[in-house]
Structure 1
């Protein structure tokens, strides 16, 4: 696609004291070399070396701020309110986009005007950028994805029309703000899982996901489900989650290569859920 027909993609990165990882996050976005990028960096007044790590990129952001805020959800919501892109996403300050993701996303939305939101598979990385796991999902089913918080937020992109019709991040959530957002968007929009890795999710000692999943996260997921009249027997949810993990682990061992992966990570997804890979 020529630059004149490319959609603006708005990406929000909320950050607070993520100096160990934030440069990797920012670099992964700018190294996409996507010509119509609207990258908004919302720092909550970090007191570590975050600002030093992002200083080389500061002039390239569409908007950059560092000041005390009301937390991650508030930072994301404010960032989206400043954005104008036709395609929207947010990337936490310890996760990374994989090479070629933004061009793939733009082209996919161009070829599929009926799709309102897309998401891909998830790589899981550790503190030193080693791939330690994978989150590989079946074809999208709104019935399933409304009931299980499984959409990889860092690999999810949506059209602005969903945002305009169903609203911004709910700032009352500390953990499940993405699940709440996607459940609302699924009520009116068409979602599509693409058979491609688009981003990597980082697991580390200080990550919110690691430390709060067992408490606040579960409570907030239950609140979303109750508010949206989503009924799910607990054992059924555990079974589906385990099923996805087992299929992921099995097919990772098949060998071959797959587009959109970091160097050195090799396996084939064509047989995973019975569909073929989505090329660039």
Structure 2
């Protein structure tokens, strides 16, 4: 069997003004027990103490750049171009790997599953209130269904470099915070890409700024879905309606069950309700068009 250390892993962090979190993620990367690891940090010209914190670890960082950029996905694409790894992992400034064997275990998994091009695992979610939950993403055959109302955990995924440079392409820089979702949709709908779920807790993700994110991400994700050819087929239009129905029902239950997240879920529910009604109208138009074409 090929030595797993021959697999080069590039870990990428993009940040700006992240002094409260950046050291935790850096330590979680540089303390990995895997030797063939390349760490790249792209900073968007931070004005707080982020840069001084990063500079303490320069001896263990392969590439560090601090300069103004055009947004998070511009920075991520920049990092991809600098990377030399066989597989790439993006972990945000306020996230971190859960232990120091994550990369070693993932490299071993890659060796044992040589056809895998995109490996994703489990994620711990940290709420501002201190509440923790573990998220287990769906198996590969359920990913497209999951992407109707959800997303894959980029903090817990490892992408073969060829996916960016050839098969799927780089991140679309036209979206503020949903380009990873758009990339996952291109990935999951690609006919030849091999996705693999690795049932191992990979990273911890901080879920902050929910309200402001929702106001941008929901309209963006809806626009992405409406522009993606796969989701315009009759089958996926129906699946989207069913998923939105299910999601709205779940939100109603959550609203009744929890006081802590009431404002967040109420806002998300209202936006999804509007989204669902619009989709129903689009589906009705599609069905009418199909009837006319058949007749």
Please give the TM-score of this superposition, normalised by the length of structure 1.
Answer: 0.78
Is the 2:13–2:90 Cα contact (8 Å) retained in structure 1?
Answer: yes
Post-superposition Cα deviations, 1:252-275, rounded to whole Å, max 9, x if no partner, equal xxxxxxxxxxxxxxxxxxxxxxxx
Query: Any conservation in 1 of the 2:5–2:34 contact (CA below 8 Å)?
Result: no
* Deviates most, 24-33 or 130-139: 130-139
Residue 123 of structure 1 contacts residue 131 of structure 1 at CA under 8 Å; is this kept in 2?
no
Paired position in structure 2 for 1:268: none
Which residue of 1 is the match for residue 194 of structure 2? 190
SS of the residue aligned with 2:107? Answer: helix
CA gap 1:45/1:211 in 2 versus in 1, 3 angstroms: farther
> After superposition, where does 1:59-74 map in structure 2 within 5 Å?
59-74=59-74
Which has the larger Rg?
A: 2
Aligned to 2:274: none
- Residue 169, structure 1, aligned to residue 171, structure 2: yes
Show CA shifts across 1:67-99 (max 9, x none): 111111111110001111110121111111121
> More deviation in 165-174 or 87-96?
165-174
The separation in 2 between residues aligned to 1:61 and 1:68, in whole angstroms, is 20
Once residues 179 and 110 of structure 1 are traced to their aligned partners in structure 2, the CA distance between those partners, rounded to angstroms, is: 27
Structure 1 vs Structure 2 CA RMSD: 2.5
Partner Cα distance (1:131, 1:40) in 2: 30
Higher relative contact order (CA 8 A, sep 6+): 1
3-state secondary structure, aligned to 1:89:
strand
> Separation in 2 of the partners of 1:237 and 1:106?
37
CA distance in 2, matches of 1:2, 1:49: 42
Structure 2: give runs of 5+ residues left out of the alignment. Answer: 232-236, 255-295
Sort the Cα spacing of 1:24 and 1:5 in 2 relative to 1 into closer, same or farther, 3 A.
closer
* CA shift for structure 1 position 203: 2.5
Counterparts of 1:131 and 1:191, CA distance in 2: 30
**CA 1:16 to 1:227, structure 2 compared with 1: closer, same or farther past 3 Å?**
same
1:238 to 1:60, Cα distance in 2 relative to 1, 3 A: farther
> What is the alpha-carbon distance in structure 2 between the residues aligned to residue 159 and residue 88 of structure 1?
6
Superposition pairs of residues 140-219 of structure 1, within 5 angstroms:
140=140, 141-164=142-165, 165-186=167-188, 187=190, 188-204=192-208, 207=209, 210-219=210-219
Kindly tell me: are residues 127 and 50 of structure 1, through their superposed partners in 2, closer, same or farther at Cα, counting changes over 3 Å? farther
What is the deviation of 1:31?
1.1
Structure with the larger helix share: 2
1:228 matched to 2:235: no
Q: Identify which range, 138-147 or 84-93, moves more after superposition.
A: 138-147
Matched pairs, number? 240
Aligned to 1:134: 134
Question: 1:93-132 alignment to 2 at 5 Å?
Answer: 93-99=93-99, 100-126=101-127, 132=132
